[in-house]
Structure 1
Amino acid sequence: MRNTIRFSWLLLLPLLFTLSSCNDDLLTEQPSNFLAPTNFYRNANDAQIALAGLYAGQMRVQGYVGGDAGVALLWGLHGTDEIIIPPWAPAGRLSLFLWNFNPTLDVIETVYQRHYEEINRINTVLNRVGMMGEDQISDEVRADVLAQAKALRASFYFNLVRLYNRVPLVLEERENLENLEFTQAEPGEIYAQVVKDLTEAIAVLEPASNVSRISKGAAQALLGKVYLQMGGWPLKQTEKYADAASQFGAVIASNQYALLEDFQQVFDYENELNDEMVWVVQHDGPGVNIDGTQNSNLGTFMGPAGRLEEGAGWGTAWLATKLENTFEREDLRRRVSVAYAPAPRVMEGDSTEGPNQWKPWKWQKPNPNNWGNDTPFDYPYIRYANVLLGFAEADARANGTVTQEAVNAINLVRARARGDADPNKVLVPYTTAMPLEEFIDAVLEERYLELAFEGHRKGDLIRTERAVEVMSSLEKQTAVWPGAPEPAEYKQLWPIPQSVLDLNPALKQNPGW
C-alpha cells in the first residue's frame, strides 16, 4: 500500500492536500511552506508571500532537484547523447537513459503530479490576488504578481505538453473534490494558453537583469523557446519561427543581458545572478531550503569521480565521450564541461584517467566540499547564450537563408569559447555563405556544446526529429555502459502515468503505449 494517493493521481489536479490511503476520508494539509488560501489574502504583503511560494514550487519541478522530479535533469538530459547512466544508477533514471520506460515508472508519475500541484497553487494565487480590492493592494503590484504567476504557469504547461502531449488544461482554482473528471486538451490548445499567459505577462513585466524573479526579458525568452518548439515536431507550425526570432530579438535589443568573458564564471555559485542569466531557478543552500524537494543537486550530479568530501560528485552519471570528442581541443568550454580526472586531482590535465573516468562537470564545487544532495547552485533555465543561439536558428529558418544577424548571434557565442586563440584556426566564425541546412546543423551543434547538461538537449533532438537517429547510433563508450538505448518515435512522448489512467477513465493513453 502506498503511503499517499495524491490528488493529481486521482484527477491530475491536486488541491494543496494529500489523501492517506489508509484512511481515504481523511484530508490533511501538506506540511510545507505553501499556504492554504483561506483567510490569507488580506494585503500586498500576503500576495508577495504567496508569490514566493510559487517560486519555491518552481524549484521542485524545473531543474535539478531533490526527489528526482526536475524536468531539466530527468527529461532534458536523460536519454540524450550528453551522459551515460551506469547499471547501478536508480532504476528510474536508468530506464530513461535506455528509453525502456513505461507508464508505471515512478519518476514519470512524480513529474506529472508535481506539475499539477504547482499549477493549482498558481491558479489559486491568480484567483485570490485577482479578487483583492484597491484597499488591499495597488493596481501596479497586483498586475506584477499576476504577471509573474502567469509566466510560471506557462513554463509548467510548456513542460507538460512537451513531455506528455495531451494533458488536462486547468486554469481555475480547485477547492474541493467535486467535478473532477477532466479531459485532455489538444496540444495546440495548450500551446495557445502558454502563448496567452506569456504575452499577457510581457505586457506588464518590467525589464530587469541580475534578478531571480521573472522579468520581461525572461518571459520573452521563454516565449521564443515556445515558438521555436511549435515550429518543430510534433506541431510543425513553421510560421512560428518568425515569431521566435522576434521574441529572441527583443531580448537581444533590450541590452539587459551580455555574455560573460569567462565561461567558467557563468556557473560560479558566488556569482550566479550575473549578466548572462535571463531566467534563473534560484536555490539557497546548503541547509537553507525548507523542503528536500527544493534542494539543488547540480553540484553533486555534475561532478568528477571520487569522494564527495573531496569535491567529487555522485557515481551515477558519466560523460558521453561523443560530447567530449565534438569539442575542438582549444574550445575553452571543454575543460569547464568535462572532468577528466577524479577529485581532488580534477584540474591536473586532459584525459589523465581515460574516458572511463570522464564525468560531466560545469558546476564546479570548491574542494573540499561535501554538500551531498543540497548544493547552493542555481539552475540557469535560460541564459543569454541560449537566446543568441535560439535567435540564430529561428531567424535563419524564418528567412530561408543565412542572414547576417543570425551569423552575428552564433559568432558571439563562438568568440567567447575561442578566447584569445586565432579565429582563423579555432572556432572559425561562420559567414552568410553557408548553405541553410549546414548552418542549422552548426547551430544545433553549438547548442550541444554551449548548453551541455543544462536540460535543453532532449527538446532540441525531439523538435528537430533527430532523437531516434541520434540515440540509435549511440555506441558503447565507457566501462559503465548499461546497454544500447531503444528509442522509438512514440517514446518521444512520455506515457500518461498508469495510476492516473486507472483513476480517471476520461483520460486516454498516448499512442504506442
Structure 2
Amino acid sequence: MKNIKKFIVVLILFQAYSCSEEILEKDPQSSFSAQGFYKTTADARAGVNGIYDALQSAMRINFSFWGEGRADAVDTRHSGDPLALKQNNLTQTINSASWNNLYEVISRANYAIKYIPSVFEEENDFSRQLIGQARALRALSYFYAVRVWGDVPLITEPYESVEQDFFVERTGKEMVLDQIEADLIYASENARESNGGDGDRILFTQGGADALLTHVYMWRQKYGDAIASAERVMNNDLYSLVSITNWNNIFSSGYSNETIFEVGYNETQTNSLRVLYALGSDSHYFPSESFRNSFEEGDLRETLIYDVTEEEPRKIWKFFGEGFNDESPDPSGNNIVLLRLADIILLKAEAHNALGETAEALQLLNRIRERAGLPEIDEQEAVNLYGDLESAILHERLIELSFEGHRWFDLVRTGRAIDVMNPINGLSDEGNLVWPIHEDAFNRNPNLEQNLFYR
C-alpha cells in the first residue's frame, strides 16, 4: 500500500513538471520524466526556462497576498483572501496558505540542478550559469516559504524513485535559510554578469542573486554581509535609478534600468495585477487611509501611485501609469517587479544605521528622497519626523516600494508587525506572524504538523 501511494505521488510530480523553449512561450511542453529529458544543451536551457514558467504561476497573485495583504498600506472590500488577510482571520483553507506553486518551482529547479551537469562532458561556464539560475530560483522560492510559513520541508533532490521518502517533515527555518544563502552565493559567483537585453531583467544574473542575497542577510540581521552584497549591486553597471518622470514606467513598461529582477509575463501568460490593484472601484486592494496620510508634502510619487483627487480612491494606478482608467477585468501582461535598485539602496541604508553608521545611512536615504522631490534630512530631522532614523528609512520603503510586495515582510523582520497591526486587526501573538499550512498539504503529507498558533 505504501509503495502504491508513492507511485501515485511520482506520477503527479512528473505530470506537473513542464518546461518551455522560451520563458514566455505559449505552448510549453509537459508530462515527461526529467530523467530522460536532459540530453542536449537545448534541453538544459529549456529546463531552466521551465522553472521561470513555474515562477510565473507562483507569483501571479501571491506576491501581493504574501507581501501586502496583511500589512497597513492596503484596504479592501473583497471577501476571500483579501478580507481574511486584512482582518487577520487566516485559516488553512485560504488560497494564500498553499505552498504548492512554490514547491513546483523548487521541484523543477531540483531536476535542473541534478541533470544539467550530465548534459556536458565537463563543467563549463555555460553549465554553471544555468545551474546558477536554477539555484537562485530555488532560493527565491524557499525564501518566500520561510517568511510565510517558518519551518518548511527542505527538499534539494528530485523525486525519481518509489524508494525515496515523499513524506518529508518540516525543516528548521535557519537550516533552510542556510541553504538559501548557499544557493545564492553560488548564483552570485556563477550566473552571468549580463544575459543581454531583456534577459538582464527577467533572468537571474549575478546582480539579481546579490540583490536577493541582500534581502536574506537583512532578514537574518547580518548587516555587514548585507552591505557587501548591496555594494556589489550598486556598483553593477546594469542598474541605475530612473528619473521621477519615468518612475511609473518601471512597472507599466518593465525592463527599466532600475529593475534587477522581474517576473516576465505577456498577453498569454498573465498575472492578476489588474484585479489586485486597478479594476476601477472593484479591485482587491486600494490605498488605506493611513497610507494616504503618510505622505510628506511635496512628495512627487503620491500622484503617481493613486488618484489624489478622489476622497476615497478605490484603485492603485502605480503599475499602469498616472491617470489609468481602464475598467477591464482582463488579466494583466505587465511584468511583476520583485527586486529593484531603490529597494537595495534603502536596505543598505538600514544596514548602515543598524551598525551605527549614520552618515552612510542618511546619504542613501536622501538619495531616494531627492528623486521624489523631497528635501534632504539630517538625523535630528529624521527623529523629529519619524522618531528615529530606522523609522525614517522604513517609512521611505513604505512609500517608495508601495504595493510591490515588501511591506509585510519589512514589518516582520524589524519586529514592528504587532505594534503596527494590532490597532488595525488585533494581531498580538508572534506565532500568528506566519501563515497556517493549507489543508491540502496535510492530505499529501501526513508527516506535517500545523503551525502552533493554528492548531
TM-score range, shorter chain: 0.7 to 0.9
Displacement of 1:119 after TM fit?
0.7
Q: Distance in 2 between matches of 1:437 and 1:226?
A: 26
For 1:349-383, what per-residue CA distance to the aligned partner results, in whole angstroms no more than 9, with x for missing partners?
Answer: x33x312x343220126867565342221111011
Q: State the alpha-carbon separation in 2 of the partners of residues 202 and 440 from structure 1.
A: 28
For residues 258-297 of structure 1, the aligned pairs below 5 Å read 258-262=240-244, 264-267=246-249, 271-285=253-267, 288-289=268-269, 295-297=270-272
Give the letter aligned to residue 216 of structure 2: V
Whole-Å separation in 2 of the counterparts to 1:276 and 1:13: 42
Q: Deviations over 1:432-458 (max 9, x none)?
A: 996797111100000000000000000
Query: What is the letter of the counterpart of residue 294 of structure 2?
Result: T
Opposite residue 76 of structure 1, the aligned amino acid is G
Q: Distance in 1 between matches of 2:238 and 2:251?
A: 21
Q: Check whether the contact 1:198–1:220 (CA below 8 A) recurs between aligned residues.
A: yes
SS in 2 for 1:381: strand
CA distance in 1 between partners of 2:428 and 2:362 (Å): 33
In the TM superposition, what is the alpha-carbon distance from 1:196 to its structure 2 partner?
0.2
Matched, 1:361 2:317: yes
- 1:32–1:492 CA distance, 2 compared to 1 (3 A): farther
Match of 1:47 in 2: 44
Give the aligned residue type for 1:229. Answer: W
Residue in 2 that maps onto 1:221 = 211
Residues 151-174 of structure 1: per-residue CA shift (max 9 Å, x gap): 000000001111111111000011
Aligned to 1:39, what secondary structure does the other structure show? helix
1:386 match: 343
Which of 418, 427, 432 is matched with 1:491 structurally? 432
- Residue ranges of structure 2 left out of the alignment (5+ in a row): 17-26
Counterpart of 1:202 in structure 2 is 188
Which position in structure 1 is the counterpart of 2:369? Answer: 414
Q: Distance in 2 between matches of 1:432 and 1:132?
A: 60
Matched, 1:428 2:410: no
> Where does residue 97 of structure 1 map in the other structure?
86
SS in 2 for 1:278: strand
The amino acid of 1:144's aligned partner reads: Q
For 2:414, the equivalent position in structure 1 comes to 464
Where does residue 24 of structure 2 map in the other structure?
A: none
Distance 1:177 1:364, change over 3 A: same
Looking at structure 2, the residues matched to 459 and 408 of structure 1 have their Cα atoms a distance apart, in angstroms, of 24
Q: Of residues 202, 206, 226 in structure 2, which corresponds to 1:244?
A: 226
1:451-477 residue CA offsets vs partner (Å, 9 max, x unmatched): 000000000011111112211223xxx
Tell me if structure 2 keeps the 8 A contact 1:83–1:360: no
Name structure 1 gaps, 5 residues minimum: 1-6, 19-30, 232-239, 290-294, 307-313, 340-349, 419-425, 475-483
2:253–2:334 contact (8 Å) kept in structure 1: no
In structure 2, the CA distance between the partners of 1:79 and 1:270, relative to structure 1 (3 Å rule), is closer
Q: Is the 8 A contact 2:193 2:205 kept in 1?
A: yes
Question: Contact between 1:35 and 1:50, CA under 8 Å: does it hold in 2?
Answer: no
Letter of the 2:42 counterpart: N
Task: State the one-letter code of the partner of 1:73.
Answer: S
Note the 1:16-95 alignment, pairs <5 A.
16-17=14-15, 33-34=29-30, 36=32, 37-62=34-59, 65=60, 70-86=61-77, 89-95=78-84
The answer to whether structure 1 residue 142 and structure 2 residue 90 are counterparts is no
The 8 Å contact of residues 261 and 340 in structure 2, kept in 1 or not, is answered as yes
2:147 corresponds to which of 150, 162, 165: 162
Q: State the identity %.
A: 25
CA 1:271 to 1:497, structure 2 compared with 1: closer, same or farther past 3 Å?
closer
Query: Using the alignment, how far apart are the partners of 1:487 and 1:191 within structure 2?
Result: 26
Cα gap change, 1:71 to 1:177, in 2 (>3 Å): farther
| C-alpha distance in structure 1 between counterparts of 2:134 and 2:100, whole Å | 19
What is the DSSP-based 3-state SS (H/G/I as helix, E as strand, rest coil) of the residue aligned with 1:279?
A: strand
The alignment of Structure 1 onto Structure 2 pairs a total of residues equal to 430
**8 Å contact from structure 2 (residues 283, 314) kept in 1:** no
The AA in structure 1 aligned to 2:365 is I
CA RMSD of aligned residues (A): 2.8
Q: 1:368 to 1:505 in 2, by over 3 A?
A: closer
Aligned to 1:507: 448
> Does the aligned pair in 2 maintain the 1:151–1:214 contact within 8 Å?
yes
1:319 match: 287
CA–CA separation in structure 2 for the residues paired with 1:389 and 1:444:
8
The separation in 1 between residues aligned to 2:157 and 2:139, in whole angstroms, is: 14
Which residue matches 1:125?
A: 112
Letter in 2 for 1:141: F
Q: Deviations over 1:10-35 (max 9, x none)?
A: 989962336xxxxxxxxxxxx96446
Q: Secondary structure at the match of 2:37?
A: coil
Contact 2:148 2:435 in 1 (8 A): yes
- Deviation of the 1:49 alpha carbon: 1.2
Report the Cα offset of residue 133 of structure 1. Answer: 2.9
Deviations 1:163-198 (A, max 9, x none): 111111000011244421211111110000000000
Report which of the two has the higher share of helix.
2
**How far apart are 1:427 and its partner, in Å?**
3.5
AA at the equivalent of 1:133: F
Using the TM superposition, give the Cα deviation of residue 204 of structure 1 relative to its aligned residue in structure 2, in angstroms: 0.9
Q: Give 2:353's aligned amino acid.
A: A
- Label 1:81 to 1:270 Cα distance change in 2 as closer, same or farther (>3 A): closer
User: Following the alignment from structure 2 to structure 1, what is the Cα–Cα distance between the partners of residues 247 and 295?
Assistant: 19
Counterpart contact for 2:117–2:123, Cα < 8 Å: no
Cα distance in 2 for residues equivalent to 1:432 and 1:43: 61
Q: Return the letter of the residue paired with 1:262.
A: I
Q: Structure 2 vs 1, CA of residues 490 and 385 (structure 1 numbering), >3 Å: closer, same or farther?
A: same
